[in-house]
Copies of this chain bind each other. A is one copy, B any other.
């Protein structure tokens, strides 16, 4: 199964797995991409079908209307927002604009930070999050934030571990980075699942070293549309960031999405209701497997370790037409770690049933 794993740098690549297995995409249940299972909001579906003509014009190269909507939502200034073709574009644009010589990454973490830093020939210091501490950063991290660092990436809730960094500790890190003139890039791609109250957006004012990354594709189930944004208050940095960007990177329908969905309160409420229920349900049920160590989730996915040695759980679940994310290719993890998205009850049940069968067979074989 080496090949499958080598192919998947990220979750969500259902096609290649389906293709290799010779099954249809539709028959593969995808737990590998952390996308809201409520699907694309009806409000957006309607907006797109009513405004298909938007595709006939170049998007506004400054995306003023979109930035205005985002600024109103976050109660900040629109000139402090840069929008991107998914948050990924902005990860690359930030590293291009900062041109860091030395950066720190917390591992395990999202793969694209490393790729973007490597593109800048930046020296990378890895800070290994401790398994004993549930892969949560603790105060020991602070003394490693040395003044020779140019930037530090922190993802909260972290991907793939699903852990939200302690709020007080994070605030302390913000202050230290500011004092030491280290750009702190906080990736809040999943914070809308955890709760907007945990966002550090309110802290950007008068702190040029704080950069917040946001994604709209997970919560609003539009990974195919691509929309992310960044908040910062350093006019000089913002200017360099915009210079790095190519014109019209965000397409018209992603732009439309950004203007429509934030005010779809029905969808947002329904999402929080679903998450409250299913997060608790799936976490509790997974925790009942004696072979799994399950980490309490802060967002819409659950991270766990399978304690059976020499066993490929992703492979075993694919036999049941279920795709989960194997975390073996994350630096700092190994093939025993997995991540599953939290989905609707029926799908979550299907995962649990398949897991039961696999574990039962496995223990029978061992007897």
A residues with a Cβ closer than 8 A to B are 9-10, 12-16, 30, 33, 35, 39-40, 45, 48-49, 52-62, 64, 85-86, 88-89, 92, 112, 221-226, 246-249, 251-254
Contacts and interface: CB of A to CB of B under 8 A. Distances in A.
Contact of A224 (B14, B59, B88, B89): B59
Contacts of A221: 55-56
Contact of A40 (B33, B52, B58, B62): B52
Contacts of A15: 60, 64
A43 to B, nearest CB: 12
A315 to B, nearest CB: 21
12 contacts: A12-B57, A13-B61, A15-B64, A16-B62, A40-B53, A55-B222, A55-B223, A56-B224, A58-B223, A58-B224, A86-B246, A88-B248
A85 B249 contact: yes
- Listed from nearest, the 10 A-B pairs whose CB atoms lie closest are A224-B252, A12-B58, A55-B224, A58-B223, A49-B49, A55-B222, A226-B251, A55-B225, A15-B60, A56-B221
Which secondary structure dominates chain A's binding surface? loop
Contacts of A248: 86, 88, 223, 226
A35 B252 CA distance: 15
B13 A33 contact: no
Which of A49, A52, A59, A223 counts the most chain B CB atoms within 10 A?
A52
A254 B33 CA distance: 21
Nearest to A115: B246
Contacts of A48: 48-49, 52
A224 B59 CA distance: 5
Contacts of A9: 61, 247
B13 A40 contact: no
Contacts of A92: 246
A116 B103 CA distance: 26
Contact of A54 (B60, B88, B224): B224
B222 A56 contact: yes
Contacts of A254: 251
Contacts of A33: 57-58
Nearest to A111: B247
A265 to B, nearest CB: 20
A219 to B, nearest CB: 12
A227 to B, nearest CB: 9
Contact of A253 (B10, B45, B86, B224): B224
Contacts of A45: 52
A123 B40 CA distance: 47
Contacts of A89: 246, 249
Contacts of A61: 9-10, 13
Nearest to A13: B61
A39 B13 contact: no
Contacts of A16: 60, 62
Nearest to A92: B246
A10 B248 CA distance: 11
Contacts of A249: 85, 89, 226
A277 to B, nearest CB: 21
